[in-house]
Amino acid sequence: MAGRLEGRVAVITGGASGIGRATAARFAAEGARVVIADLSEARAQETLSEVRAAGSEALFVKTDTSVLAENEALADAAIAAFGTVDILVAAAGVSNARYISGEVVEGPADRTAGFIINKPVEYWEKVLAVNLTGVMYTDRAIARRMVDLGIKGSIINISSAASKVPLPGAADYCVSKAGVWMLTKVLAVELAGHGIRVNAIGPGYIDTPMTAGASGDEARRRQMVSTMPLGRMGEAEDVANTALFLASDESSFFTGEILFPDGGMFTG
């Protein structure tokens, strides 16, 4: 039986790790060829291996998504390699300005240091540059090629449950993710006439390198899990499966929507 993404090409930013990596593997298993865009080629190697093990083709394009020209080069490289881009998953992101994936960076002992009245402005600027402006740059670069080539594609932006929940000390992250949600809705309306759908995903707490610092602490892990009635951390695959639905024709009447794989966080 043909895969649900047979013959399609997907660009996945943040594809070297966590949610992006799981999405690349899931899409490859459904027949998509995959372009991985991330900062580190070394860490992208494992994703490339997973995609090839699933019997598909993968390309790595070193990209800092917060730099406009690098998104343009990414889009050109994808088209040059595969002739099309049908799907974009914009998953590159940082949890805070000092975040380095896979490394446990201890936050300041005093959590009020992250409050707006205390936070260094450069920290705010860094998070917004990657999580919001970077997503806009990638969406723009890929959407322009889709329009020019007449591709009826699907764009999926990774927002967060934090787009709805105010997290003290993380205003930059929350605002960036709320911005991604609104960016998604505006783009959905702007691109609908071209047959391009734009949706977002707002995950709850997911076990990835991004949450490893917090979830490694038993008390903090319990606190995170307590916000989700299903009683567990999400897996990157939970988000990958949501992205697969939004990428596939099964979601053909969805645009401007956000789906929350969050273990029931917003039921109450």
Q: Which residues are catalytic?
A: 173
* Closest distance of CB 39 from ligand NAP, Å: 4
Contact 59, 83 (CB under 8 A): no
Within residues 7-46, the interface with ligand NAP by CB under 6 A covers: 13-14, 16-20, 38-40
* Closest distance of CB 199 from ligand NAP, Å: 15
Within residues 201-230, the interface with ligand NAP by CB under 6 A covers: 203, 205-206, 208-211
Shorter beta-carbon distance to ligand NAP: residue 153 or 263: 263
* 96 contributes a contact to ligand NAP by CB under 6 A: no
* 157 contributes a contact to ligand NAP by CB under 6 A: no
| CA-to-CA separations, 71 to 97, 133, 188, 200, in angstroms, rounded | 21, 11, 20, 19
Q: From CA 265, how far away is CA 176, in angstroms rounded? A: 20
* 92 contributes a contact to ligand NAP by CB under 6 A: yes
Within residues 42-81, the interface with ligand NAP by CB under 6 A covers: 63-66
* 175 contributes a contact to ligand NAP by CB under 6 A: no
Contact 172, 133 (CB under 8 A): no
Q: From CA 241, how far away is CA 244, in angstroms rounded? A: 5
Residue identified by tokens 């093990």 is 53
| DSSP letter for each residue of 150-168 | T---EEEEE--GGGTS--T
Interacting residues toward ligand NAP by CB under 6 A: 13-14, 16-20, 38-40, 63-66, 91-94, 100-101, 130, 134, 158, 160, 203, 205-206, 208-211
